Structure 1
């Protein structure tokens, strides 16, 4: 399947963390004025705000609230910390409901003091514990596999195969997967696992950016689309071959870009989205 160029912004979503220097009101105004149609809200952007009113504000700017980031961080050798994580995830579900979004992205967590297998079991247990609240709120939970370099503390789910396995084990319509190219582009099984994800109706979100070479910071040096070595159009074609037609979400953590004029950065995001995604 050959990829089709992107000609409009109807499926472009930008994460609030991407333009971190902007408050959520400023981001909403500027995204909307530029023709962006979707926004994913990071929980830090909601601090001190009336969440329901914030959701209404976003929709008043003709923005779809695609998801809330992030829940997760389930594992710990300390049961008290595991319970605190469960409580925080329940709070995230409430926030998503108030915001008016139907999806939470999970960065699942890991504890380097225990085997990865233990962390994975705690992740599955933690997600299963949340299913009654997720179902009642009408909010799906998307497991986001993270690059193996984050397997120590950020996530014990490091491949799309592991995320698919966990979704199949949980077997709930309220649990699926977020595919982020930054974390998965290297995986030789990616095409077949994206196909599997689509066949099982688990593909809930698609995140894009680029991998700069050299990367100077493994967390906060993501690139604009077309700036690195990720074969973005090819991966998008695999995602769309599953029937996925949801938002394409730009999620860029970049100390360098956060220092720059965010209005100019927004225009570069739009250009990169159209030309290199």
Structure 2
């Protein structure tokens, strides 16, 4: 198969200064894309600021013969999100795809989490994705389409403890992704999700040791198993115009890629459904062995 190139295309990557975002940006540039490297250089909890990470990635792309522009705005602010899209238009005259990758983390037990920590996760993960996508959406509508790749997480599926704030916010991103996928095709816009399995600041041995209440050194080998470069291929593919998917979520990392999603079974039908009937049939109601995928946009076509 021929290499999937991005020659002449412009892609905005948020959180592109480090980790998976950096890997996405470098891979896109190596395939011919012009890249907006958006990153305010914050700490893992969202505090602070540094132009360094975005500048370093943009400089690395340019040194390799590619084209890139650094942007230091925050996705948690509407004007910042709009400025990222405008940076693409001002620097390169167009925008073809967005990878919403920016994120923060502060894993903690539910009873310890503060309301402000929940709000911060929503501001960055969910509203940040909303703001950047909305800033790009109108442009895509006017220009015949585009591609949105939203970074979701298996953490929203209850796979780990201490994920109520982070996983809850990522769950909101999943809902947004699938709901937007039902609207996008009308304008030639595809919207998909990408869940990285990656060793990063947000999944460092120290963080994972805290989450699992185990010695951090137990998780040190994961850095070799899940480098950022092995999660990026799925995100890059979803951003390419050749990808036929819409409303799909791909998990990728460690040399493996798979699809995750929602399923629904036939359940129980009764003309006069009662609590007792549910109790009597709960085993078959809960059985997902023959469940089918929930189809994006299904309700609008019924």
- TM-score over 0.5 for the alignment? no
TM-score by length of 1: 0.38
Q: Decide which structure has the larger Cα Rg and report it.
A: 2
**Whose RCO is larger (CA < 8 A, sep 6+)?**
1
TM-score by length of 2: 0.36
